[in-house]
Amino acid sequence: MRKNKTILHVLFWALAYVFWIFIFRNSTLVLTHAITIQFCYLVFIAANYYFNTLYTIPALLNKKRYAAFGLCLFAGILVTSVLRIPVSILVNLYIFKVANFHPNLLSIFWDSFVNILFWVVIILTAKLVADRVRSSRYIEQIEKEKAANELNFLRAQFNPHFLFNSINSIYAHIDKSNKTARNMLLVFSEMLRYQLYECNVDQIEFDRELNYLRNYIELQKSRMDERIAVSFCADDINGSIKVAPLLLITFIENAFKYVGFNEARENRVEISLKYADGNLYFRSFNTKDSFINPAEKSSGLGIANAKRRLELIYPNKHLLTIDDQPETFEITLILYEI
């Protein structure tokens, strides 16, 4: 995707270059001169475009800092207009070899400023309009998918009362001496209750989410080989923190699902959470087999869905890193300013 994006950018500037050469060439300007002059303008216009698209628009305009955006836009055009003065002088003296060349610096600056300002504003406006249309279509698509998912969920959801009554019946039939099985069923019931009744919100207190994660990890530990070390650490978690529900469970499920066992090394799953300076830090690590049967490999759908949720819920406020090695798999996630 990045390669295709680069190719599109190159094609756009190449077409703009050709357009400027033949549209703005006049009868007194030979083709070679037009090619050189328009190339100089292309460099300065492109520099302003990328300065604004990579910095001023995301850092200032998108955050409604309109005055700062306007100043940066004006300053960029001003600087490139000034820089074009020595470029124009050097081109006329050493490329065009104009005899008795006496440049009018103010005229060069003004022509440069007007031309660069005009085309930068035109191109940036076109980009912003295109981004807005693309964003509107994307939001519309997400809303349709959300509505469809909610409908599918409602169709798939059977009566919760019947479900919990069934769990209670199973619990009553488990021998009282089998405390492990009874406790596991209670933990499962609590997790299910959390998913059905508490997760229908955009944000939830992290203490409740943390309790759900602890229950899940305890269930996994009870069914795993004792030779696989499982550690879970959650430090400095403030009860006032709120997060999107069921956001981290996908990464933890992945760690337990694909943890490998090898007698020649230490096998482990490590989960850690930490809250500091307004940021939430999450890490999931597991060892794995260097060779996995292709049929057992992850489809990656769960991780892909988690990435998409992060992009929608925490745009520009998260950092997700995935380190997939032959014998280990590690995920680190930072949620900023939660």
What is the per-residue burial (b if ≥16 Cβ within 10 Å, else e) of 183-207?
ebbebebebeebeeeeeeeeebbbe
Domain made up of 203-335: CATH architecture: 2-Layer Sandwich (3.30)
Residue 147 CA neighbour count, 13 Å, CB half: 6
* Cα R_g (the chain), whole angstroms: 30
Q: Is 270 helix (H, G, I), strand (E, B) or coil?
A: strand
* Whole-structure pTM value: 0.53
What digits encode the pLDDT tens for the residues 104-120?
889 889 988 998 999 99
What digits encode the pLDDT tens for the residues 15-47?
887 877 776 655 445 555 656 677 788 889 999
What digits encode the pLDDT tens for the residues 83-103?
988 888 887 777 767 767 778
Domain ranges in the chain are 2-152, 158-198, 203-335
Q: How far apart are CA 188 and CA 164, in angstroms?
A: 11
**Cβ atoms 273, 233 nearer than 8 A:** yes
Q: How far apart are CA 22 and CA 38, in angstroms?
A: 10
Neighbours of 320 (CB within 10 A): 17
pLDDT value at 154 more than 60: no
